[in-house]
Amino acid sequence: MSRRLPRKDVVIVGFGWTGAIIANELTDEGLDVIALERGPWRDAPTDFPPGYMQDELRYRIRHELFLRPDQLTFTFRNNMGQTALPIRSWGAFMPPNGVGGGGVHWNAEMWRFLPSDFVLKTHLTERYGAAFLPADMTIQDWGVTYDELEPHYDRFEYLCGTSGTAGNLRGKIRDGGNPFEGPRSRPYPTPAQAQPFSHTLFGKAARELGYKPFPQPSGNLSQAYTNPLGLRLGPCTYCGFCEWFGCSNYSKASPQTTILPFLIRKSNFSLRDNSEVIRINVDRSGKRATGVTFVDSSGEEWEQQADLVILSAYALFNVQLLLHSQIGQPYDPVTNTGVVGRNYTHQTISSVNGFFDNKKFNFNPFIASGSIGMCIDEFNGDNFDHGPHGFVGGGYVGQVQTGARPIESTLVPPGTPSWGAEWKKAVKDNYLSTVKPGTGVHGSFYAYRDIYLDLDPTYKDRFGRPLMRITMDLKENEIKQNKFLTDKFAEIVKAMGAEKLAVQYRTAPYDITTYQTTHLNGGAIMGTDPKTSVLNRYLQSWDVPNLFVMGASAFPQNAGYNPTLTVGALAYWSAAAIRNQYLKNPGRLVDA
């Protein structure tokens, strides 16, 4: 029996980027808001101090900032014919945990999606015909357009102080930026970050090959910045410890640096950490959420009632909570019915490492930031004619090397022994003269009928609930897309002057053990039809109108960009709908 806490106007489940955005927006509206966070409280100066934050063993290898699988994990299989097994050590992706969520330890790459990405099904069908798409591909339009999201993209960019060079300012294409981006209403708030040697060399090589390279938009700031909430950020020091790490210099946009110090001053906001929500409660009709039930670190169960429930956990946990709460019909790939768990996607990434003559090239590769880089966008989305290539989708490619942290930066050219004196010598010879772009090829991942999330029939979590099961593989379309992009990328790295290349294509089967990105999407997607989406265009549950679900779980499929800027823009878009429409007349914002 759970103990009941005083009722609130709003309960927020999960306190990362979207939880913080929504909390700030709805407290501005005068609502009494409580946020519940499964993990610990984390604050910039006390939890990410420069004295020890740059510890690769502690944070990268030992995963200090992430969820522990023994607290909660998933089962995994590649296809419906297999038996899924629990993930006991994180590999392909890293579930965040704690206040700030993934916003603490991200790289802060701040990409907008293309206008055509939001109307993908319509766009591709019109251009190539329905028959061009694989039969089992289940891509769909988002229900929201780029133009509708633009002010919200802008808002999130200015909250973060994003450093970049505009490529399309109000429809006017500008040199030095991404000429393929959708029109932006304002320039970036701060100029692009300075680019280290290898990144600059990539830009030069790409330009000479006829491409239009531009600096990657960055949430690691090129200069000091004061955001619209009055919070101050410092200039990035290019220390090269962003992804997996908190920023010790107030230079990386995170909930801690851009929202929390402002938010926690409000008397109508409160937060409980170490509080794991296990269920969204609904009334007898099943059409109204009454609040949530959570468990504290003593194992005590509490009920927090609220008029409005905001689900803003990491994508997978959003879907899992909906399944456990029996909100929305679970997806069944056999009958192709139901919605919760449908259109689960990831990111198709690969890389090409380039080995250069160490007498001519010293890249000082440790000088970097998580979102440093020179990129090209010629092969993203539908920026090029896919007709001759037999696949859809694409991605940006670029030299986006985020540092050269010692444990993971021991690259040696192909053919080097994997241990011993010769290996050691090769590590030493190549450390300063290797280009290691990490996710240099950053491709889209489209949705398929038999790639999905559901509840596992066998394995249970510590509360006795079924684990969520991931069924995920790489399809021919993505494999072709990746081969095409990786080859294009390799040409540019070669043109930089590399003597040897190590080309790594993304291939099937999908590998759950090696890190790709944490860009998991879908499972609780937005759309225009309740038969094929969990949420309407405002991220409102079709079934339970006082429940809104934030995050990349709403993406119908993934574009060839990092998702966070779009996740943040959608949160502002949804918050605006709640503030301007829902609160005046609580109920469905879109008729089904």
Partner 1 sequence: MHKAPRMRAFAWAAILSAATVCQADGGSSSPQEFTQIERGRYLSILSDCSGCHTVPGGKPFAGGRAIETPFGNIVSPNITSDLETGIGTWTDDQFDAALRKGIGRTGAHIYPAMPYNAYTQMSRDDVLAIRAYLNSLQPVRQSRNANTLPFPFNIRSAMAVWNALYFKAGDYKPDPAKSAEWNRGKFIVDGPAHCGACHTPKTLLGGDRKDQYLQGANLQGWSAPDITNSRRAGLGNWTVEDVATYLKTGHNRVTAATGPMAEAVDLSTSRMTDEDRAAIATYLKSLPGKDESGSAPVDANVMAAGGSIYRDQCSACHGIEGKGVPHLFPSLADSAMVRSNDPTTVIRMVLRGARSVGTKGEPTAPGMPSYGWQLDDRQVTAVLNYVRNSWGGAAPSIDAGRVTRVRSDTASRSD
For partner 1, which is the closer residue by CB, 239 or 280?
A: 239
Told to check if 263 binds partner 1 by CB under 8 A, we report yes
Distance CA 16, CA 153 (A): 18
Amino acid in the structure at residue 227: N
Q: Are strands 172-173 and 348-355 parallel, antiparallel or unpaired?
A: unpaired
- Give least dist CB 366 to partner 1, A: 14
- Give least dist CB 239 to partner 1, A: 7
**Are 259 and 18 spatial neighbours (Cβ–Cβ below 8 Å)?**
no
Told to check if 344 binds partner 1 by CB under 8 A, we report no
What's the number of CA atoms in the CB half-sphere (13 Å) around residue 92? 21
Q: Which stretch binds partner 1 (CB under 8 A): 71-79, 158-166, 226-234, 487-495?
A: 226-234
Helix ranges restricted to H, 264-414: 315-325
Distance CA 111, CA 97 (A): 23
CA-CA distances (angstroms) from residue 533 to 142, 288, 376, 506? 9, 18, 33, 29
**Are 347 and 445 spatial neighbours (Cβ–Cβ below 8 Å)?**
yes
For partner 1, which is the closer residue by CB, 250 or 555?
A: 250
For partner 1, which is the closer residue by CB, 261 or 586?
A: 261
Report the residue from 13, 120, 239, 490 that binds partner 1 according to the rule CB under 8 A: 239
**Are 352 and 398 spatial neighbours (Cβ–Cβ below 8 Å)?**
no
Told to check if 294 binds partner 1 by CB under 8 A, we report no
What's the number of CA atoms in the CB half-sphere (13 Å) around residue 489? 39
Report the residue from 231, 327, 392, 397 that binds partner 1 according to the rule CB under 8 A: 231
- Give least dist CB 243 to partner 1, A: 18
Q: Which stretch binds partner 1 (CB under 8 A): 79-87, 187-195, 223-231, 317-325?
A: 223-231
Told to check if 130 binds partner 1 by CB under 8 A, we report no
Query: Which parts of 28-57 interact with partner 1 (CB under 8 A)?
Result: 41, 44-46, 49-52
Q: Cα-flanking dihedrals φ and ψ of residue 278, to 5°?
A: -110, -10
Told to check if 232 binds partner 1 by CB under 8 A, we report yes
Told to check if 224 binds partner 1 by CB under 8 A, we report yes
Report the residue from 272, 389, 465, 588 that binds partner 1 according to the rule CB under 8 A: 272
Helix (H) or strand (E) holding 343: strand 342-345
For partner 1, which is the closer residue by CB, 324 or 405?
A: 405
Told to check if 269 binds partner 1 by CB under 8 A, we report yes
Q: Which stretch binds partner 1 (CB under 8 A): 261-269, 340-348, 367-375, 532-540?
A: 261-269
- Give least dist CB 234 to partner 1, A: 5
Report the residue from 132, 158, 262, 423 that binds partner 1 according to the rule CB under 8 A: 262
- Give least dist CB 297 to partner 1, A: 11
Q: Which stretch binds partner 1 (CB under 8 A): 60-68, 245-253, 310-318, 456-464?
A: 245-253
Told to check if 191 binds partner 1 by CB under 8 A, we report no
Best CA proximity match to 219, nearest among 105, 65, 361, 64: 105
Residues 6+ apart with CB under 8 A from 272: 34, 35, 36, 37, 294, 296
CA-CA distances (angstroms) from residue 184 to 67, 177, 362, 445? 36, 12, 37, 25
- Give least dist CB 320 to partner 1, A: 24
**Are 433 and 358 spatial neighbours (Cβ–Cβ below 8 Å)?**
yes
Q: Which stretch binds partner 1 (CB under 8 A): 143-151, 211-219, 267-275, 572-580?
A: 267-275
SS3 93: coil
Return the structure tokens found at 369. 């930031």
Is 324 among the residues known to form the active site? no
Report the residue from 69, 86, 234, 466 that binds partner 1 according to the rule CB under 8 A: 234
Distance CA 524, CA 315 (A): 8
For partner 1, which is the closer residue by CB, 177 or 246?
A: 246
- Give least dist CB 406 to partner 1, A: 16
- Give least dist CB 499 to partner 1, A: 35
Best CA proximity match to 534, nearest among 342, 344, 346, 345: 342
Q: What residues act catalytically?
A: 519
**What is the binding site for partner 1 (CB under 8 A)?**
41, 44-46, 49-52, 224, 226, 229-235, 237, 239, 248-250, 261-267, 269-273
